[in-house]
């Protein structure tokens, strides 16, 4: 990945993450970039040894062809929605970019910040669920945490 930008987009396959992904493709991604989707699962219950290793460091970078294969993604416990797959497949073909997926397990706030440094990412785009003040105080805001702790530029795409 030498010499190209590594643009990260945090995805959880929700409407807000699809909006962030669309915004990134339309406004940030350019020919030759690497679009790296970062997804975080709250907990991992795996019996396979390799999955236990990945729990600490995240999965290897998964290529778009594997990311689009439901049988391969079942191994990771991820089920990408058709709309997200359509967005990234179209972007890969039209903008001539490389699309990769990285899966982490744990707290989304911490793991997204970890991904920024470990991949490393040039910037990250994250969706905002639009929680009210009370829910944000109780649950915490992933986007607020990432904005305040990330070591790269962060763009929050509001719903």
- Asked whether residue 122 is assigned to any structural domain, the reply reads no
Say how many domains are in the chain: 1
Q: What's the pTM value of the predicted model, to 2 decimals?
A: 0.86
Residue keyed to tokens 């391969």: 72
- Asked whether residue 1 is assigned to any structural domain, the reply reads no
Strands 6-10 and 123-128: parallel
- Asked whether residue 124 is assigned to any structural domain, the reply reads no
In tens, the pLDDT along 105-125 reads: 888 899 999 999 999 999 999
Write down the pLDDT at residue 54: 67
Strands 98-105 and 62-63: antiparallel
Task: From 90, 2, 104, select the one nearest 61 (Cα to Cα).
Answer: 104
- Asked whether residue 100 is assigned to any structural domain, the reply reads yes
Mean pLDDT by 10 residues, the chain (159 residues): 81 92 96 95 60 72 92 85 95 96 91 94 88 49 87 90
- Asked whether residue 125 is assigned to any structural domain, the reply reads no
CATH number at residue 44: 3.40.50
Domain hosting residue 60, numbered range: 6-114
Euclidean distance between CA atoms 50 and 53, whole angstroms: 5
| Radius of gyration (C-alpha) of the chain in whole angstroms | 15
- Asked whether residue 101 is assigned to any structural domain, the reply reads yes
- Asked whether residue 146 is assigned to any structural domain, the reply reads no
- Asked whether residue 45 is assigned to any structural domain, the reply reads yes
């Amino acid at each position: 990945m030498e010499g190209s930008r590594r643009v990260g987009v945090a995805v959880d396959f929700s409407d807000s993450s699809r909006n962030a992904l669309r915004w990134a493709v339309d406004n940030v991604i350019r020919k030759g970039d690497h679009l790296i989707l970062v997804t975080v699962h709250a907990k991992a219950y795996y019996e396979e040894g390799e999955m236990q290793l990945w729990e600490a460091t995240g999965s290897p970078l998964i290529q778009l062809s594997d990311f689009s294969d439901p049988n391969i993604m079942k191994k990771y416990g991820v089920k990408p929605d058709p709309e997200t797959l359509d967005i990234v497949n179209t972007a890969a073909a039209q903008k001539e970019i490389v699309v990769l997926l990285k899966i982490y397990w744990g707290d989304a706030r911490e793991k997204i910040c970890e991904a920024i440094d470990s991949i490393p990412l040039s910037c990250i785009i994250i969706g905002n669920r639009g929680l009210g003040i009370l829910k944000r105080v109780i649950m915490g805001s992933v986007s607020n945490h990432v904005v305040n702790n990330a070591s790269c530029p962060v763009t929050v795409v509001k719903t």
